[in-house]
Amino acid sequence: MFKTFDRMTIDSAGAFLQGELERFDPTMNLPLTSQKWRRDIQLREDVSMADEHSSFSLTTGAATGGINPNGKNWVGKVSNAIPGVSIEIGKSIFPLYPWGSELSYTIFELLAAQQVGRPIDMQKMEFMKLKYEMDCDEQVYIGDSGYGVKGLINQASPGVSGNVANGASTHPDWARKTPAEILLDINTLLTAVWAKTGNATCPDKLLITPTAMGVIVGQDMGISGYRSVLEWLKANSLCNQENGRPLDIQSCKWCEAANSGLTYSRMVAYTNDKKYVRIPMVPMQRTPLEYRSLFQIFTYYAKIGVVEAVYPQTIGYADQI
């Protein structure tokens, strides 16, 4: 049996010449990709398509004590000089970038696709949605080098704490550490971020490399109640003590140096709450159907912002895990 694959037909309608004894699977198999940004960050949804920037303010203040300027606001019964407070409101502003993709197909493509039972319009739509998710994923985690903006795992703010994951070992690599040393790495990072916030907020989320995740999932603790090092780490982290819930440890491909352009692979600790960190986005919309000669055209568009680290001190990094 001979099969012919016509390139023009394949690229347009997805029609193939098949042999009589061939069983063709019509399932649409898209490229293998991974997008987890919806899991790891919350959206700021008050922005609109008309907005060109998103912004927020951060208020700082100072107060003078009473008799002791550095003490409490004690006053006497006949005091006529009452100390007050002063505040400073600073504004941070970030761009909202327009995103767009055009879907177009000719009448001939639609008819050919209809005849073979493979809707070319839906297939192009699925691929366009995949591209949108991939772009959002990259924007959330590492920002965009062309525009010079940062993401969740490469913030450059001086408020972000960073260190090397040495964990009482001469080797920062988790594959060469004991579970106790890995826990020390994690708690050292959580403690550093917690201290940066004035012990107000202890991180509840940890992003690590897929390689590191394989290390802690693949090891058996050998302790009753714990099947793996991962479960033991969640239960014995500083987060469980301070927040009353296990630390949420997840793998992220962008933590790998090879994917993100970082010098070393990275562990990221933060609080997954829009009060502290979020990204503004305007949901995807489309233009009305446009007929242009033999083409039918839709344009899909959205706006994607920049990760807003409202409180950068709630984010911390540890490298070389």
Instruction: Please answer whether residues 246 and 226 qualify as being in contact, where contact means their C-beta atoms are separated by less than 8 angstroms.
Output: no
Residue 226: pLDDT band by 50, 70, 90 thresholds? Answer: low
Please report, for the domain that includes residue 210, its CATH number: 3.30.2320
Domain presence at residue 131: no
Phi, psi angles (nearest 5°) of residue 37:
-65, -30
Total of domains in the chain: 1
What is the domain extent for residue 184?
Answer: 161-278
CA 185/CA 172 separation, integer angstroms: 9
In tens, the pLDDT along 56-81 reads: 887 777 777 766 777 777 777 777 77
CA 97/CA 102 separation, integer angstroms: 17
Burial class (CB in 10 A: 0-12, 13-18, 19+), 52: exposed
Phi, psi angles (nearest 5°) of residue 226:
-125, 120
Burial class (CB in 10 A: 0-12, 13-18, 19+), 306: buried
Virtual torsion, Cα 137, 39, 210, 234, nearest 10 deg: 150
In tens, the pLDDT along 167-197 reads: 656 677 888 888 888 999 999 999 999 999 9
Domain presence at residue 179: yes
In tens, the pLDDT along 79-103 reads: 777 777 787 787 889 999 999 999 8
Domain presence at residue 150: no
Q: What is the pLDDT of residue 39?
A: 94
Domain presence at residue 176: yes
Q: What is the pLDDT of residue 4?
A: 44
Domain presence at residue 81: no
Q: What is the pLDDT of residue 5?
A: 42
Q: What is the pLDDT of residue 289?
A: 87
Q: What is the mean pLDDT of residues 269-294?
A: 93
Q: What is the pLDDT of residue 150?
A: 93
Task: Identify residue 51 by its one-letter amino acid code.
Answer: D
In tens, the pLDDT along 100-127 reads: 999 888 888 888 777 777 777 788 888 8
The conformational region for residue 120 under phi > 0 = left, psi -120 to 50 = alpha, else beta, is alpha
Sign of CA dihedral 223, 225, 230, 233: negative
User: Residue written as tokens 């949420």?
Assistant: 248
In tens, the pLDDT along 134-172 reads: 999 999 999 999 999 999 999 877 666 666 666 656 677
Q: What is the pLDDT of residue 70?
A: 74
CA 270/CA 314 separation, integer angstroms: 6
In tens, the pLDDT along 197-214 reads: 999 999 999 999 999 999
Sign of CA dihedral 75, 80, 83, 88: positive
For residue 292, the cross-strand partners are 295
Domain presence at residue 9: no
In tens, the pLDDT along 6-48 reads: 444 445 556 666 677 777 777 777 788 889 999 999 999 999 9
Domain presence at residue 217: yes
List, in sequence order, the alpha helices (H) in 198-303. 210-218, 229-236, 238-243, 257-260
Q: What is the mean pLDDT of residues 216-239?
A: 80
Q: What is the pLDDT of residue 6?
A: 46
Domain presence at residue 222: yes
